[in-house]
Amino acid sequence: MSDFVIDQKEIERSCELLRAGQLVAFPTETVYGLGADAGNVDAIAKLYKVKGRPGNHPVIVHLSELAAVDNWAYLSKEARLLGETFWPGPLTLILPRKAHVSTLLTGGQDTVGVRIPSHPTALALLSTFGSGVAAPSANKFGKLSPTTAAAVKEGLGEEVSMVLDGITPDIGIESTIVSLVGEPSILRPGMLLPEDIAAVCGLELKLAYLKSEAEGESEPVVKAPGTLDSHYAPQRPLLLVERGKLGEVLLELGHKGLTCNLLAFADSQSLIDSVAQDLADKVSIDRSLFVERQAKDYARGLYGNLRHLDETGAASCIVVEEPPGDSAWHGVRDRLKRAGHGSSLQSLFLSV
């Protein structure tokens, strides 16, 4: 799809729908967004209703250029540096909101999230629309984010007025969210490295997502989207398993007569094959996907792979080999930990 041609008539039709208070789904370089006119409170209310999104969960305002941010938020020197470096791109900044910005957008807070996507279809839409578009991921709240137009249509159906097609998202998971209000923090990791962000803005950044992970619960105030303990979840329970325990978990599932769909690294395939041989007639793996140990490629295919494993066969669960822990993998690990929140072998065995 690299030679995809943007249909300007579809862009203009989408803008007409947005101005009329309707919802339009569109691709970004991260995932598909479900867009509403950020200046229309009725459209925002409709967006929350269709998503099934709690009112205290802020949404991100998408804009076409850095100059437009001044209409929505107060830009500090550090924020401007980050914008000039990483926009257009997969970075969201949490900034003090301007007075006219509706608290429906911000979850009742005095801050607003803003972003300039790099996807050509998204930029064409935003440039033609000429104002801010509020756009969380184009799926029901808490579920797997879509990375194709087909996945949006399957999940939302006629609740969205139009779904723009475009080049498949190149990043594959949601944007990195950096708050520059109060203690500078990365609230949600993405595919931008924390050390690169800190080097540009010259600030020491707290990795807030690691703190909440260690404490085992989310902050009482939802400062940014996608930060609940349970989020990005497939329908089937997801078990995130470190490499050293993969064989043990697969054996336990097999002995209980349960099957799984498996997402693992290619260099673990020999281990998996040996477990399958040991199980003989009690094979616990229904479907398997083996991927390379490359963070960017893994992220790009993550939601598509999880969707495939969620919809294929009759497995009891999805088993995912835990990715590495270095900063290049923080975004992927964050999504998988939230996708698997609350799932365990014990809960699976109790359901049998």
For the beta carbon of residue 306, count every other beta carbon within 10 angstroms: 25
How far apart CA 17 and CA 20 sit, in angstroms, is: 5
Strands 185-188, 206-207: pairing kind? parallel
The residue to which tokens 């799809």 are assigned: 1
Element (H, E) at 251: helix 246-255
How far apart CA 194 and CA 207 sit, in angstroms, is: 8
pLDDT of res. 219: 54
Q: Which is nearest to 190 in space by CA: 218, 226, 244, 241?
A: 226
Longest CA span, the chain: 66
How far apart CA 175 and CA 192 sit, in angstroms, is: 8
Do residues 63 and 114 make contact, with C-beta atoms less than 8 angstroms apart? yes
The residue to which tokens 């830009």 are assigned: 75
Q: At what angle do helices 120-129 and 8-19 cross, to 10 degrees?
A: 50
**pTM for this predicted structure:** 0.94
Q: What is the pLDDT along the chain (352 residues), one digit of tens a residue?
A: 467 899 999 999 999 999 999 999 999 999 999 999 999 999 999 999 999 999 999 999 999 999 999 999 999 999 999 999 999 999 999 999 999 999 999 999 999 999 999 999 999 999 999 999 999 999 999 999 999 999 999 999 999 999 999 999 999 999 999 999 999 999 999 999 999 999 999 999 999 999 655 555 545 566 788 888 889 999 999 999 999 999 889 889 988 889 999 999 999 999 888 877 776 666 688 899 999 999 999 999 999 999 999 999 889 999 999 999 999 999 999 999 999 999 988 888 777 6
pLDDT of res. 226: 82
Do residues 287 and 315 make contact, with C-beta atoms less than 8 angstroms apart? yes
Which domains, ranges and CATH numbers included, belong to the chain? 8-215 (3.90.870.10), 238-351 (3.40.50.11030)
